[in-house]
Structure 1
Amino acid sequence: MRYLPLTQPDREAMLSVIGASSIDDLFVDVPAEARLDGPIRDLPMHASELAVERHMTALARKNLSAGEAPFFLGCGAYRHHVPASVDHLIQRGEFLTAYTPYQPEIAQGTLQMLFEFQTQVARLLGTDVANASMYDGSTACWEAIGMARRITKRAKAVLSGGLHPHYVSVAKTMAKYTGDSLDTSPPVLTADTDIDALIASIDDDTSCVVVQYPDILGRVADLQPLADACHAKKALLIAVVTEPVALGALKSPGEMDADIVVGEGQSIGVGLQFGGPYVGLMGCKDKYIRQMPGRFCGETVDAEGKRGFVLTLSTREQHIRREKATSNICTNSGLCALAFSIHMTLLGEAGLRALAATNHAQAVSAAERLAQVPGVELVNDSFFNEFTLKLSQEARPVVRALADKGILAGVSLGRLYPGEDALANGLVVAVTETTTQEDVETLASALQEALA
């Protein structure tokens, strides 16, 4: 196919139809300081392929990868061991190039994989049903809020202070265009969650309460009282899980009567990948299935009575009138969903529970060791594989100093909540099966030196 660019008369005709005097009018929402007024400065206009490869390789060497240093980063993206077989299988040609399976008669393998993915997610989250995946955890969280609005016909969502601030930011961005009111606040650096405050904030205008489990500080709470309080006011409880491995050890949100459960599936089968692509998880009670975004894969039988799979309940913009759509989710992170499903299949229930137990045991050991460092206080009295430390000084420069020494010490709350002085000394530390005792000792020694 030849590429035929538009002519100047073509451009002028298009601009005239939309009422713009020039192409620049289309970019007025972009701040002037962010717009280029010419070619990028200091960038050569051309270079040989060999020169570009050498330059990019030199830049890549400046990165410190997760496997090359003591690694304690978490807060929604976790380093776990992914078996080599996962990557091998997802790169098979029939999977690597597969997209939305519109023709079931020639996409039975893809549809079966998505059906099994849905089954695994529903069992993991403790929900009646799950859809065929979302973009990622943050957008799944927003979609759940929108879903609650459609179900309750209310537009006030109460967001826990323990909800990841990036998820809150996505929700705020989307709420600008839907009219939803979001009741938000930062977390408090204590062992107690804000469950009681959330219960007190529910009123007759509340569509849903959104709570993270475990929350951004790693704290674990019983969600049943919150679910009961929501239902007493005819509101919905939305639970957000950013570390799905935790559900190998903890009671699932669905078992505690959460109406909608969403999460980030990256921990299972998907590497850190510089922040993406990831895979969103979403499940709900059966009675709300027709308000779920995205699509579902269903099991049926063909004309000969043989087992088969189909795409069903696809109330997306691509399939029906826009005003009737439940979302504009236009893909399903299919390859990442496949990686999740393969890894989960390799683990099985016993393997997932064993992995969760290992994560928790190593986190407990690390928390006890780090709490012995002068100037370090353990905030949590409950956690899975992630906990918060309160340092005797601001955590952000400490994290930077340790990173310069090749130690990725954790995520400073000052980075997540700039301007919140009460959180500035907080440091969130994640420990997984990939963390060694030597890593913990290295971090403890470095912290002791930095805080001296």
Structure 2
Amino acid sequence: MRYLPLTDTDRTEMLRVIGAPSIDALFADVPEEARLTGPIHGLPNHASELAVERHMSALARQNLVAGEVPFFLGCGAYRHHVPASVDHLIQRGEFLTAYTPYQPEIAQGTLQMLFEFQTQVARLLGTDVANASMYDGSTACWEAIVMARRVTRRAKAVLSGGLHPHYVSVATTMAKFTGDDVHASLPELAAEGDIETLIAAIDDDTSCVVVQYPDILGRIADLSELAAACQAKKALLIAVVTEPVALGAIRSPGEMGADIVVGEGQSIGVGLQFGGPYVGLFGCKEKYVRQMPGRLCGETVDAEGKRGFVLTLSTREQHIRREKATSNICTNSGLCALAFSIHMTLLGEKGLRGLAEANHLAASAAADRLAQVPGVELVTPTFFNEFTLKLSREARPIVRELADRRILAGVSLGRLYPGIQALEKGLVVAVTETATAEDVETLATALEEVLA
């Protein structure tokens, strides 16, 4: 039985007060094709709990489980081995049921964990300071763009063609409500990225340049020249990292002069989980700390001189006057941040470097093998654990055919950029430490057959 406390009269009055002609008008921003016009297809209106469980289990069995098939998906969400101790520790009651740490006298464990998390993230990203996490990578990217506008008092954001299209979509959607002028472009199936193009696009109205590192095709660029060009025009350089394991092998964006570094922390400690929840990373130069969104935990001493932890900076809208708030995203992914921090602690610096090396070696071997397949061209000669192939025909139906053979071959650019003919033959392949040599050979053999 549904619980519907409002009567038709109540709804009519509410719509009258807000000036909406109907309930449907409240969903005007949702595309027509995405709205339900009736019950969900395939589900009966009424069924017993046992029948529903059986039906849903049957649907779930149609999924390909990442750990049971050759798996090469990436593009912002990566399969890594997460030690069992991570899940064990985050399920301890003091962490699993903890709420936000507003009261330092009863939240020392949570605050200390977030303090350690901030330290790990700042060192990983190469920034002076990092916050206590954001919702996810895409919203962290948008928050960085808004922060750049506050710092520079400009509204033009230049987005690299190598930035993940979902991140671009979040930024362009949010900009509709803030007036930011977002300039986005498409990537090209080429060995080099668009650093020179970005430098040429910087002018006196530019608040920031946003570049992904490694980018959506897996390319790795030296950001130093771009950082210098931004600094010359008093714009900020925002670097986005969707695969933080890469920073165990390549220079951090902060080292190359990035003003703000954001990213998705899912790779470390957090499973794929059908796309979430994930954890956003956010770091910046110390001089911009007061404009940083979210929260910052700090170390201090109490009246007796004992070490303790407090919320040092908290600029969310429920803490201060709304017009002074730096963010209205009121969720930090605390439990996922804990998982990240535990996994990072278990790895340590040596372990992270070893994990990064294992990823790169596995990806390099896979790229060499796949490049031998007739009809396959390696687009990105330098990469970390993710590279782009150009196939002899459209990649999207090939990915589907390989999925029918129980091989998750990668992400087709036609899926990420529908309708863009120049990209439809592109296939992005991610190879982590979880992919075996046998998995790679299975993919190569199947690819030879479907392209023949």
TM-score (normalizing by structure 2): 0.96
Amino acid at match of 1:362: A
Offset of 1:14 from its aligned partner? 3.7
Task: Determine the structure 2 residue equivalent to 1:312.
Answer: 312
Aligned residues between the structures: 450
Q: How does 1:344-359 map to 2 (within 5 A)?
A: 344-359=344-359
44-53 or 352-361, which moves further after superposition? 44-53
Cα distance per residue 1:108-130 (max 9 Å; x no partner): 00000001000000000000000
Cα deviation code 1:370-403 (max 9, x no counterpart): 1111111111121000001111111111111101
Tell me which amino acid in the other structure corresponds to 1:361.
Answer: L
Partner of 2:385: 385
In the other structure, the counterpart of 2:341 is 341
Counterparts of 1:222 and 1:34, CA distance in 2: 40
Equivalent in the alignment of 1:253: 253
Residue 72 of structure 2 corresponds to 72
The within-5 A match list for 1:372-411 is: 372-411=372-411
Question: Which structure 2 residues correspond to residues 59-208 of structure 1 after superposition, within 5 A?
Answer: 59-208=59-208
AA at the equivalent of 1:60? A
Where in structure 1 do 4 or more consecutive aligned residues deviate above 6 Å?
none
Matched, 1:215 2:212: no
Query: What SS is found at the alignment partner of 2:300?
Result: strand
| Residue 264 (structure 1) aligned with residue 264 (structure 2) | yes
> Is the Cα–Cα contact under 8 Å of residues 295 and 315 in structure 1 kept in the other structure?
yes
SS at the partner of 2:211? Answer: strand
410-419 or 13-22, larger mean C-alpha shift:
13-22
Letter in 1 for 2:389: L
The separation in 2 between residues aligned to 1:33 and 1:419, in whole angstroms, is 17
**Deviation digits for residues 153-177 of structure 1 (CA, Å, limit 9, x no counterpart):** 0000111110001100100000111
Residue 40 of structure 1 deviates from its aligned partner by: 4.6
1:366 aligned onto 2:370: no
Per the alignment, residue 232 of structure 1 pairs with: 232
**Structure 1 range deviating more: 255-264 or 94-103:** 94-103
SS of residue in 2 equivalent to 1:298: strand
**What secondary structure is seen at the aligned counterpart in 1 of 2:310?**
strand
Deviation at 1:33, TM superposition (A): 5.8
Tell me the CA shift for residue 323 of structure 1: 1.1
| C-alpha distance 32-124 of structure 1, shift in aligned 2 (>3 A) | closer
SS of the aligned residue for 1:177 comes to: helix
Within 5 A, what are the aligned runs for 1:410-425? 410-425=410-425
* Native 8 Å contact 1:134 1:282 kept in 2: yes
The alpha-carbon deviation at position 5 of structure 1 amounts to: 2.8
Are the counterparts in 2 of residues 104 and 309 from structure 1 also a CA contact under 8 Å? yes
Q: Which amino acid aligns with 1:173?
A: T
Q: Partners of 2:434 and 2:38 in 1: how far apart? A: 47
Residue 107 to residue 200, structure 1, CA distance change in 2 (3 Å): same
Deviation of 1:10 (Å): 4.7
Distance (whole Å) between structure 1 residues aligned to residue 139 and residue 26 of structure 2:
26
Find the counterpart in structure 2 of residue 279 from structure 1. Answer: 279
Counterpart code for 2:130: A
Output the TM-score relative to the length of structure 1: 0.96
Q: Which moved more, 1:303-312 or 1:37-46?
A: 37-46
Deviations 1:113-156 (A, max 9, x none): 00100000000000000000001111100100000000000000
Shift in Å, 1:38: 5.2
Which runs of no fewer than 5 residues in structure 2 stay unpaired?
none
User: How many Å separate the matches in 2 of 1:410 and 1:254?
Assistant: 30
- Give 1:444's aligned amino acid: A
List per-residue Cα deviations over 1:196-218 (Å, max 9, x = no partner).
Answer: 11111111111111000000010
Cα separation, partners in 2 of 1:39 and 1:422, compared to 1, 3 Å: closer
The 1:344/1:36 distance shift into structure 2, 3 A limit, reads closer
SS at match of 2:427: strand
Q: State the percentage of identical aligned residues.
A: 84
SS in 2 for 1:176: helix
Call closer, same or farther: CA 1:248–1:63 in 2, change over 3 Å. Answer: same
Q: Secondary structure at the match of 2:166?
A: helix
Query: Which range is displaced more, 114-123 or 4-13?
Result: 4-13
- Please tell me the root mean square deviation across aligned C-alpha atoms, in Å: 1.6
- 1:160 partner amino acid: S
Q: Which stretches in structure 1 are left out of the alignment for 5+ residues?
A: none
Contact 1:100 1:331 in 2 (8 A): no
Please give the alpha-carbon distance, in whole angstroms, between the structure 2 residues aligned to 1:439 and 1:212.
Answer: 28
- State how far apart, in whole Å, the 2-side matches of 1:292 and 1:18 are: 34
Shift of 1:24: 4.8
CA drift of 1:53 comes to 1.0
1:277 Cα deviation after fit: 0.6
